[in-house]
Structure 1
Amino acid sequence: MRLENLPSEFQKALPILEKIKSAGYEAYFVGGSVRDALLDRPIHDVDIASSSYPQETKAIFDRTVDIGIEHGTVLVLDQGGEYEVTTFRTEDVYVDYRRPSSVNFVRSLEEDLKRRDFTVNAFALDENAQIIDKFNGLADLDKKLLRAVGKAEERFNEDALRIMRGLRFSASLDFDIEATTFKAMQTHAPLLEKISIERSFIEFDKLLTAPHWKKGLQAFKDSQAYLYLPDLENSQADWDEFCTSYEDGVTFSSSEQAWAALIIALKVKAVKPFLKKWKTSVQFQKTVESLVTIYRYRQDQEHGLRQLYQYGRDLIEVAEDLRQYQGQSVDFEKIAELDAALTIHDKHDIVVNGGMLMAELGLKPGPELGKILSQVEWAIVDGQLANEKEAIFDFIAKQK
């Protein structure tokens, strides 16, 4: 099969293939970029596989960087871009269900493609836009089916993260998982405990933010992968409710919003400790916790000036979106009105500060000063005090 319309990303990189071939080696575009071109999806990274060994690749180009040379990958700086060129390789025994103990460079494209995870990721594309399909991936692509290359048990035993990748692909591509492949996922799901949580987080995060996250989440539940990920072992009863509570066609706008939705559905009480087990950043934890708090507050009562001031309009609206996704009543107009009514949006907007109060009113540093500043701040937020120097000094005088 020939790709009729070669995407511009490949066209730009064609000279790389041609240089390698003119030096006497084979070279192809490989992997997810080829799949995405066949599906008419946006292409992100263009990967190149070659029969040239790393040192041979480096000899072909003037500018290269050794970014993973022990695994056969050389970064080529050419044609105004950066391209990863990886030598055809086979892999030795996997010692930790994630990484091979060693890799062996080979000259055979087919041997290289055999080690790929799924048939729809095992395509190669030559300089003439001809698709090389060694494992009937085109038929699986046509059927929207995700099937492991070769023996599924071997693929997941080699690298258990492929289970999470498969679930993620199901969610992003809207593909079903072939029965034998899915059974192997279920069988090998316990191996996810041996995978670094950072890598599992990345794949699960991509699943949650994918267009067809409900499909991916259903497979995630049915595979019982959740049993082997942090604080999800008792969540079985919540997955169906999570999916059904959101209207079809909903796609979360950010990772933070998606994880807030997950935490709400799982009825997690301590948000930060939960996210800490997933090795997320402090800022991520803070944002998600705020979204969950805003959402839960809004379930019982309307927002006021204090909520808008404390969390900001953007976060309030992201949390309100979650209500809208669930078909609940929303009031974005009121949020806008409250935001407009705020005379300050940050304590630094206040026309006086601690230094001024100490200098002009003779106040001493310490807890009492902090208490006075807090009273001033909230009085301004509540609309009870004008953000003016004289008014603030009068307010402080009355508090004494």
Structure 2
Amino acid sequence: MLEKIKKAGFEAYFVGGSVRDALLGKAIHDIDIACSSYPAETKNIFPRTIDIGIEHGTVLVLENGHEYEVTTFRTEDVYVDYRRPSRVSFVRSLEEDLKRRDFTINAFALDEESYVIDKFNGLEDLKNKILRAVGEPSERFKEDALRIMRGLRFSACLNFTIEEKTFSAMQDHAELLEKISVERSFIELDKLLQAPFWKQGIRYLMLSHAYQYLPFLQDSLIKWEKMLADLPEDFVFSSSEQAWGAVLLYLGIDKTAPFLKKWKTSNDFQKTVEKMLAIYKLRQERKADKADVYRYGLHLMLLVEELRQAQGLTVDFERIKTIHANLTIHHKHEIVIKGRDLMAELQLKPGPELGKLLNQIEEHLVAGHLVNERTAILDFVRKELEA
């Protein structure tokens, strides 16, 4: 990739998080390339490209079965909404491009010979596990307030300490988060909660007062502190749903849907978290039975047990797994007889009575009182109809 761009007479470097992760020995996901070629020039170099952000200088290049985001070196004008620049100017200078990056550990450039270009002492910060804004911190956060949430997330993911001046600027500009789209803030907080050092990220969230400017989190300090105190330091959430279920639990949110809708989450996500909280509530009252395991599924049941274990409560991992393994059916689609079969065999008509019979069949199969065989189910229905 880099060689092709350079052969065409331009500069090109790997930049951003992929360089940072490579230096840290972490797995690399998205690979970003910055170059001195303008978008039209980049498109002339590669036969297969897609305009994904052409106004910002970004072209998606399809090469050798991979996708690469290739962006022209650029500078940015005044930010009008604390998120997007009023204008982007393409430049031929790598240093001018790197100046607009958020943190020093994200402002590296890597050439084709694996030489690291470090204009802001990011290698030293990487070595010392310090998160420091590029240039003047206040300017970086006024340009893009989401960088505050990104900083908290990086701290949680990397176990980095936020440099004093950078953190002070986060505190000073935390109120600007109200101007950021909820979807963007959710993505960062979601990643923070699932990070290995999420507790550190939450502590910074509290100390920066950023939580005060996020949906439904105002005046929640004591509740966050309770969550941090209850869960072990080495506990890591297994999924996004488990993490947000715990947040709702500790925040004392009774109505799950309005809270998660405010955070612009999907309906499926809301339903999953609601189910987790329902499981948690029933487990506070009693042990799970066959009907519970069938209704909610093994995965969610075990996620709740993990949370209970972290809280020091009694758990039933093996019992729940055994119940699930011994269920006659795990989903209604597995039932060998459908409504149309009952109508054909027993001359039943569509309606409430048929629906009631199908529910009875399902309940008896789950309870283990009926085998999932055609003859057995038909005999059961005949007896119900005669009763």
TM-score bracket, shorter-length normalisation: over 0.9
Moved more, 344-353 or 85-94: 344-353
Q: 2:283 aligns with which of 289, 292, 298?
A: 298
1:286 maps to 271
Change (3 A) 1:382 1:141: same
Distance in 1 of aligned mates of 2:234 and 2:75: 41
Change (3 A) 1:70 1:297: same
Amino acid at match of 1:260: G
2:172 maps to 187
1:22 maps to 7
Q: 1:378 aligns with which of 363, 377, 386?
A: 363
User: Counterparts in 2 of 1:114-153, with a 5 A limit?
Assistant: 114-153=99-138
Contact conserved, 1:30 with 1:48, CA < 8 A, in 2?
A: yes
Amino acid at match of 2:188: E
1:127-185 deviations in Å (ceiling 9; x for gaps)? 22221111111121122111111111111111111111000000001001111111111
Q: How far is the alpha carbon of 1:246 from its aligned partner? A: 1.6
2:384 maps to 396
Contact conserved, 1:385 with 1:391, CA < 8 A, in 2?
A: no
Contact conserved, 2:357 with 2:381, CA < 8 A, in 1?
A: no
**Alignment gaps of 5+ in structure 2:** none
1:335-382 deviations in Å (ceiling 9; x for gaps)? 122123322222233344333444444544333432333233223322
Contact conserved, 2:256 with 2:274, CA < 8 A, in 1?
A: yes
Distance in 1 of aligned mates of 2:244 and 2:199: 14
Distance in 2 of aligned mates of 1:214 and 1:395: 58
How many equivalent pairs are there?
Answer: 384
Contact conserved, 1:386 with 1:392, CA < 8 A, in 2?
A: no
**Alignment gaps of 5+ in structure 1:** 1-15
TM-score w.r.t. structure 2 length? 0.94
2:229 maps to 244
User: Counterparts in 2 of 1:47-62, with a 5 A limit?
Assistant: 47-62=32-47
Moved more, 158-167 or 251-260: 251-260
What percent of counterpart residues are identical? 63
1:235-293 deviations in Å (ceiling 9; x for gaps)? 21111111222222222121112111211221211112211111111111111111111
Match of 2:34, SS state, is strand
1:5 maps to none
Contact conserved, 1:88 with 1:109, CA < 8 A, in 2?
A: yes
Distance in 2 of aligned mates of 1:121 and 1:151: 15
Amino acid at match of 2:299: D
Q: How far is the alpha carbon of 1:309 from its aligned partner? A: 1.2
1:254 and 2:239 equivalent? Answer: yes
Q: How far is the alpha carbon of 1:386 from its aligned partner? A: 4.2
Aligned CA RMSD, in angstroms, stands at 1.8
Distance in 1 of aligned mates of 2:143 and 2:2: 30
Amino acid at match of 2:228: C
Distance in 2 of aligned mates of 1:390 and 1:112: 73
The list of structure 1 runs, each at least 4 consecutive aligned residues, that deviate by more than 6 angstroms after superposition, is none
1:353 and 2:338 equivalent? Answer: yes
Amino acid at match of 1:98: R
